[in-house]
Structure 1
Amino acid sequence: MVKPRIVVLGAGLGGAIAAFEIKQAVGKNADVHVVSQGDTFHFVPSNPWVAVRWRKRDAIEVRLPPIFQKKGIAFTGVGASKVDPATNTLRLADGQALAYDYLVIATGPELAFDEIPGLGPHGGHTQSVCHVAHAETAADAFDKFCQNPGPIVVGAVQGASCFGPAYEFALILDTELRRRKIRDKVPMTFVTSEPYVGHLGLDGVGDTKGLLESELRQRHIKWVTNAKVASVDEGLMHVEEIAEDGSVHARHDLPFGFSMMLPAFRGVEAVRGVEGLVNPRGFILIDKHQRNPTYPNIMALGVCVAIAPTGKTPVPVGVPKTGFMIESMVTAIAHNFKEILDGQAPTHEASWNAICLADFGDGGVAFVAQPQIPPRNVNWSASGKWVHLAKVGFEKYFLGKVKRGESEPFYEKLALDILGVNKIKGA
């Protein structure tokens, strides 16, 4: 009897853990095969540290093939060029085809730098911390900047859905500049599409508005909200501040010697334009059991799934897909596969909660939102030096978890630790 093949497309924070947890759930009843672009996992939340050389790249990376092999999971590292759900086939980047019985899409996003002239590290004038390679490039640019310091602009553009790392990096830069004793030579501006500081794509969590505004004020960082970046020239960012009625309230030409701007996301090329699978931005359409309504043998998790925004804003603002939410999606999918292979209908649903540790080097802000979209049962935020220690402990734990090929959920324990004792044990 030929066992069904479950293909997991993507091996990032969601895909790698999904492969471990799905394999544990289905055991010998199905084969699990991971397809990824490259053979290395890297811990994305540590990228801002790499960009100021608080971490080296090899410290936050894990080579995956030996780990998958120990777990009985097949692996292909050439990447995919197209999903063909009509034939249950994944076209690989090397021209080969991989048939699947079930597909789990966990690709993460494509970074839409090209939607704004002059944005991004590839042919543009701004840096990024979305990928570890971008963070390394940013570190080189920052070192060069520090030899001749000037203004800095940091933030997130229109359509962005990941705001925490923007705040984190702005405040990490402030800390590093003070350590280098050149903070007094660097005017800083935070530019964001959010309607207010601390919105985070979630309409705020607890008092994130007050906490983050206070941090920015104390560190002499100005801000522009409801911001639409029109274009970026070398050393000059053109920003339109949008009013409630959609008109341009003000225009800002912001000079910079160094800039890091998070881009909008869209679905990857391998899925974009597949009718019935994705929305117009290329994000995967899913039901409450993580299945695509048109192709129920396809499931999806993480940043690549389609989630409606929390409400209308003057400038488009996306909803973040945080680690807590992603881990919950993984667990639901794994349990649903077990039911499906047992001949039952899937019953498990993800609990879309959010937890964030934004480290500033000498402090930080944490929040817990359960559920992620208001109204909430838990709506909590706090700040302090303990957040830095918590994130260091979290990085160590999660990288160890990947190296060991473990599938046990962690974010719920992290949330309980934070809400209960404001620390992670062992941090």
Structure 2
Amino acid sequence: MTKPIIAILGAGLGGAVAAFEIKAAVGSRAEVMVVSRGDTFHFVPSNPWVAIGWRRRDAIEVALAPVMARKKIGFTPVGARRVHPSENRLELEDGESLFYDYLVVATGPELAFDEIEGLGPDGFTQSICHVDHAEKAAEAFETFARNPGPIVVGAVQGASCYGPAYEFAMILDTELRRRKIRDRVPMTFVTAEPYVGHLGLDGVGDTKGLLEAEMRDRHIKFITNARVAKVTDGMMSVEEVAEDGAVRATHDLPFAYSMMLPAFRGVSAVAGIEGLTNPRGFVLADSHQRNPTYRNVFSLGVCVAIPPVGKTAVPVGVPKTGFMIESMVTAIAENLRQMLDGQEPTHEATWNAICLADFGDGGVAFIAQPQIPPRNLNWAAEGGWVHLAKVGFEKYFIGKIKRGASAPFYEKLALDLIGARKLKA
């Protein structure tokens, strides 16, 4: 008798962990097949370090094919051109098709650089969203350091990932001071958030106070409620928006180096499929991570449609952090096991958030349980220990991926790397 096929689309932070955990949950009762665009996993939280030359690419990458083979998980690196959910079929980039019984969409986002003129690695700003971009950003930084000038860092309207923008701004400041050229580099932080430290979450603990204090201490100016109108070579045009939506001020910001996080949208393989995705291309999911229309399709991570926390003058998305993604993975694995038993799924993700924002010589950490307020736990703290915690977690996570180990990852981070003692304090 042919075994059911569980296809996992994507092999990033969510997809790779999902493959290991789903395989552990279903065992030999189903075939697990991963469809990835490329044959390597890279640890995205380390991209800011790559972009400043503190990490080499090979230190944060894992070759996936041998790991998947050891875990008896099918793997193809050709990628998917289109999902055909009414046919239970993945159309692959090489023209072949993969038919599935269950599909887990874990693609991550498409980076919407094209929505703003001049934005992105093909324009005039750098990116740390992918290791390819981070390597290019590192090359550009070395060129910049030989002839320094103003820097602009931040996140544009519609972005939903703000922590790395703060992290990169502070890391840049640290590295510039180490090179003794910080005095020659005016820095401005530009963000769609209504206030510094909002993070797409309406703040966590006192992230507003902590991050504003860091900005002031490091002499980084900031513009909030910012809408980037366009970017040209060496100049960024920014509109500062009032609460009523009117433009309160305009800023022409010269720069010799800039890194701006883009807005996200759903990838082309799923975008525009009625019943599967919203108008932005993000996958619709119920409380069990299952699509309301195509009941054998699950989704996790950045590709999932989540409404914003509240109304803001400039569009601000909600981040999908590692802790939340890990919880989605576990819920899907348990729900698939139930469905193979002929039961309806009952498991739900907890959607908690944890973040370590490394500043090179310090950092800020926060935990939000749940991620969306009101919360049972709303905590943030700062200190040099955050940098040490992130270094340790990077090694731990990459090591687990190399071994093909399933979660918990971020739960362990919350309990072990931050620690109950600091949390209580």
Q: What is the letter of the counterpart of residue 147 of structure 1? A: R
Matched, 1:15 2:11: no
For 1:57-136, list aligned pairs within 5 A.
57-122=57-122, 124-136=123-135
Counterpart CA distance in 1 for 2:95 and 2:257 is: 40
Counterpart CA distance in 1 for 2:276 and 2:344 is: 21
1:78 counterpart SS class = coil
Deviation at 1:422?
A: 4.1
TM-score (norm 1): 0.98
Aligned length: 422
Counterpart CA distance in 1 for 2:242 and 2:222 is: 16
2:379 counterpart SS class = strand
1:279 is aligned to 278
Matched, 1:318 2:346: no
Q: What is the letter of the counterpart of residue 331 of structure 1? A: T
Matched, 1:155 2:154: yes
Counterpart CA distance in 2 for 1:44 and 1:414 is: 16
2:294 is aligned to 295
Deviation at 1:229?
A: 0.1
Q: What is the letter of the counterpart of residue 20 of structure 1? A: F
Q: What is the letter of the counterpart of residue 351 of structure 1? A: T
Q: What is the letter of the counterpart of residue 74 of structure 1? A: G
1:176 is aligned to 175
1:356 counterpart SS class = strand
Deviation at 1:410?
A: 2.0
Q: What is the letter of the counterpart of residue 10 of structure 1? A: G
Q: What is the letter of the counterpart of residue 294 of structure 1? A: T
| Cα deviation digits, residues 93-122 of structure 1 (max 9, x gap) | 011111011000000000000000000002
2:389 is aligned to 390
2:337 is aligned to 338
2:251 counterpart SS class = strand
Deviation at 1:340?
A: 0.6
Counterpart CA distance in 2 for 1:93 and 1:337 is: 27
Matched, 1:144 2:137: no
1:251 is aligned to 250
Q: Structure 1, unaligned stretches of length 5 or more?
A: none
Counterpart CA distance in 2 for 1:235 and 1:422 is: 43
Q: Are the counterparts in 2 of residues 201 and 319 from structure 1 also a CA contact under 8 Å?
A: yes
| Cα deviation digits, residues 386-423 of structure 1 (max 9, x gap) | 00000000000000000000003121222123251349
TM-score (norm 2): 0.99
| Cα deviation digits, residues 190-235 of structure 1 (max 9, x gap) | 0000000000000000000000000000000000000000000000
Q: What is the letter of the counterpart of residue 103 of structure 1? A: L
Matched, 1:362 2:366: no
Percent of residue pairs identical: 76
Deviation at 1:186?
A: 0.1
Counterpart CA distance in 1 for 2:409 and 2:59 is: 21
Q: Where do 4+ consecutive residues of structure 1 move more than 2 Å?
A: none
Counterpart CA distance in 1 for 2:422 and 2:259 is: 30
1:47 is aligned to 47
Q: What is the letter of the counterpart of residue 377 of structure 2? A: V
Q: What is the letter of the counterpart of residue 82 of structure 2? A: K
2:204 is aligned to 205
Q: Are the counterparts in 2 of residues 386 and 422 from structure 1 also a CA contact under 8 Å?
A: no
Counterpart CA distance in 1 for 2:410 and 2:160 is: 20
Q: Are the counterparts in 1 of residues 326 and 407 from structure 2 also a CA contact under 8 Å?
A: no
Deviation at 1:91?
A: 0.3
1:220 is aligned to 219
Q: Structure 2, unaligned stretches of length 5 or more?
A: none
1:86 counterpart SS class = helix
Q: What is the letter of the counterpart of residue 212 of structure 1? A: L
Matched, 1:349 2:322: no
Matched, 1:409 2:411: no
Q: What is the letter of the counterpart of residue 291 of structure 2? A: N
2:372 counterpart SS class = coil
2:373 is aligned to 374
2:24 counterpart SS class = helix
Deviation at 1:309?
A: 0.3
Counterpart CA distance in 1 for 2:162 and 2:141 is: 21
Counterpart CA distance in 1 for 2:11 and 2:370 is: 26
CA root-mean-square deviation: 0.7
